[in-house]
């Protein structure tokens, strides 16, 4: 089975993408590894030239997307698993966020993901099979201070992925959202941008504390990216993959806390909710 499936993975230079690529290669899959700087991923092809293809890919570059998909089909004839991993973070209070930075993040985290997905979908539909792995975050389910616009990108990925999963079900194409909490992928370091607060009231509040905590906690996160990669392999190999998979104890705790409280609030206000309809 592993020799027949072809994986296409974005953002393979470091972090989740790198670990997933390594494990997929070790498992015997045919793998297309991509990154903005191809020099950072060519080592993955050494000794695996027949089964591994390294390609340059900036997910905000439509021409590079088309070329990467075309070269993949030319070499392997199909794409069975798409892993949309490429993404960036941005830390700031909502009030002080810089629009240029937030738009850039949307171009990568949301539009880049969707442009790659839409380029792959015709091939998966013609095969009548496929699996799309979209990296979201626990931040796609629940929100924290200093990450407002990052959350917005991930909530968008969550919403469109859920719709996409319903549209693609008749074609035997699965969609799975991966929702990690803090992992040692340098997401809070190299892969993110920060705008320090200059508003005194915010600096002394949870905003200032969170921005400082991100720097102090970088590299000490509880999540093991190698284990996250193992989870992705398992999800792809199962016959009934989940729509969502939380990764990490903190993700589990944060999600269950939010949804238990949400359900409690829904029930508390149920009478007003249902009475908003026309009377039958």
| Nearest by Cα to 85 from 27, 10, 178 | 10
- Please pick, among 92, 97, 136, 192, the residue that the annotation labels catalytic: 136
Q: Name the pairing type of β-strands 6-9 and 81-84.
A: parallel
Dist. CA 78–CA 80, nearest whole Å: 6
Q: Which pLDDT score is estimated for 183?
A: 82
Element (H, E) at 28: none
In the residue annotation, 264 being an active-site residue is answered as no
pTM: 0.94
In the residue annotation, 126 being an active-site residue is answered as no
| Nearest by Cα to 58 from 124, 115, 121 | 115
Cross-strand partners of 173:
130
SS3 content of the chain, % helix, strand, coil (to 5): 50, 15, 30
Dist. CA 260–CA 90, nearest whole Å: 28
Structure confidence by residue, pLDDT tens digits, 120-177:
999 999 999 999 999 999 999 999 999 999 999 999 999 999 999 999 999 999 999 9
Determine the 3-state secondary structure of 32 from DSSP.
Answer: strand
| Nearest by Cα to 135 from 192, 85, 188 | 85
Dist. CA 97–CA 87, nearest whole Å: 18
- Residue 1 — very low, low, confident or very high, per pLDDT cuts 50/70/90? very low
Q: Which pLDDT score is estimated for 182?
A: 84
Domain ranges for the chain? 6-255
Structure confidence by residue, pLDDT tens digits, 101-110:
999 999 999 9
Structure confidence by residue, pLDDT tens digits, 173-230:
999 999 999 887 766 556 678 898 889 999 889 998 888 777 666 666 878 899 999 9
Determine the 3-state secondary structure of 92 from DSSP.
Answer: strand
Percent of the chain with pLDDT over 90: 84
- The rounded mean pLDDT for the chain is 93
Strands annotated E in the chain:
6-9, 30-35, 52-56, 81-84, 89-91, 130-135, 173-180, 192-194, 244-247
- Please pick, among 93, 150, 161, 165, the residue that the annotation labels catalytic: 150
- Please pick, among 90, 97, 149, 154, the residue that the annotation labels catalytic: 154
CATH of domain 6-255: 3.40.50.720
Dist. CA 253–CA 245, nearest whole Å: 13
Residue 72 neighbours by CB distance under 10 Å: 22
In the residue annotation, 265 being an active-site residue is answered as no
* Phi–psi pair at 188, nearest 5 degrees: -80, 0
Q: Which pLDDT score is estimated for 191?
A: 60
| Nearest by Cα to 16 from 237, 146, 187 | 187
Dist. CA 81–CA 103, nearest whole Å: 28
CA pseudo-torsion sign 109, 115, 120, 122:
positive
């Amino acid at each position: 089975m592993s020799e027949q499936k072809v994986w296409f993975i974005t953002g393979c230079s470091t972090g989740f993408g790198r670990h997933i690529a390594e494990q997929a290669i070790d498992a015997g899959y045919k793998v297309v590894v991509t990154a903005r700087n191809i020099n950072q991923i060519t080592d993955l092809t050494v000794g695996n030239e027949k089964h591994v293809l390294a390609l340059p890919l900036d997910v905000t570059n439509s021409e590079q997307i088309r070329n990467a998909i075309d070269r993949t089909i030319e070499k392997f004839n199909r794409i069975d698993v798409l892993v949309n991993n490429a993404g960036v973070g941005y830390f700031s209070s909502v009030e002080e966020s810089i629009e240029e930075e937030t738009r850039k993040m949307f171009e990568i985290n949301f539009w880049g993901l969707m442009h790659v997905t839409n380029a792959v979908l015709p091939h998966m539909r013609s095969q009548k099979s496929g699996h799309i792995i979209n990296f979201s975050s626990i931040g796609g389910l629940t929100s924290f201070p200093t990450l407002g616009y990052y959350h917005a990108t991930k909530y968008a990925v969550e919403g469109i992925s859920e719709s996409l999963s319903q549209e693609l079900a008749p074609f035997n194409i699965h969609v799975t959202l991966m929702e990690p909490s803090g992992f040692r992928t340098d997401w809070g370091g190299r892969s993110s941008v920060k705008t320090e607060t200059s508003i005194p009231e915010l600096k002394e509040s949870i905003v200032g504390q969170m921005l400082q905590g991100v720097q102090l906690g970088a590299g000490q996160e509880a999540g093991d990216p190698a284990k996250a990669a193992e989870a992705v392999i398992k999800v792809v190999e199962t016959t009934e993959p989940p729509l969502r998979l939380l990764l990490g104890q903190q993700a589990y705790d944060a999600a269950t806390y939010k949804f238990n409280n949400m359900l409690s609030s829904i029930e508390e206000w149920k009478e007003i909710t249902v009475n908003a309809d026309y009377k039958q």
